Structure 1
Amino acid sequence: MAKGRSQDDMPPPDNWREVFLEHLAQTSNVSGAARAAKIKPGTIYRARRNDPEFAQAWFEALCEGYDLLELDLLRRLRMGDNDSPTAKRKRKYDNATSFRLLSAHRATVSQMRADQQQLSEDEVIASINDKLDRMRERMRAAEEEAPPVLPAPTDSSNDDEHEPGEQT
């Protein structure tokens, strides 16, 4: 860096868009992706406003990031927090924040996916119904494979204890 010039005075790197989008897809974090691309957030937001192709790529990166977040969250919920046994420090996951983030942006991501696929309302509803049917089939199959749950045995040897109104 030239003496007397701050990083803010330096021109942005030529590949800042690619770096930004890659980090955004990995993290779903605009500020973190801006730091990785060595560019001011204001520049990034201005580019999104003025460049429809960049705006589209931004939303695609966010969709990918939310997919990764959802998959990572599902893996942690199913299998636990599996950090490497050789890790010096156990990574702490904030599942509640992950859920809130996914919930807060679910509508935006869903709308973006629908726009990308250009599906009609009827096609979206049919797709949802199909997914629900598959989920129900998996639940039925799991119930059929599960052993029956028997009621707990009752102690009928003590005839002195009766429920009110019960005949002996």
Structure 2
Amino acid sequence: MTIVKKAAPATGRWSTARERRFLDHLAASSNVAASERVAMVPAGSAYRRRTQSAEFRVAWEVALREGYTRLELALLQRAIEGTPVIMIDRQGKTRKTREYSERLALNLLAQHREAVAATGAIDADESAKARLARKLEEMADRLDAEEAAAAAANAPAAAPESSDAA
């Protein structure tokens, strides 16, 4: 019996094509090690490249944001639509149903609430009517300030007093 050793995946230097493959896979998976394998670059080299190239670092961050957005959307879809489950009763009869994870839904809601609060978009203690009134008041104040500035700019300049020496 002959034992055949699997060859390690060919890894090489970074190139534009390998960088693109790495970033595409990173955006799809959010997994650096797997992305390095797909791009066929040495393990750990992406971290070094990220510290050495500002352009690569920015592309990496964009790819990771995209990856996490995909993950969040998949989790959101699962929380809303549930997960398909096949139930088998005692008589062996099967029926399809869906399970919904309350834990997943609550975690997503908490994260959404934190994100909204971080932007200052909503104050939980302020009613919608109060927020609207505050916004309208801010707009009125801005308009008054703009009108005052325009009026000051259009006002005729006072003529300098002349002192005629006789």
Task: Compute the TM-score of the two structures, normalised by the length of structure 2.
Answer: 0.46
Task: Compute the TM-score of the two structures, normalised by the length of structure 1.
Answer: 0.45
Flag the structure with larger Rg.
2
Which one scores higher on RCO, CA 8 angstroms, separation ≥ 6? 1
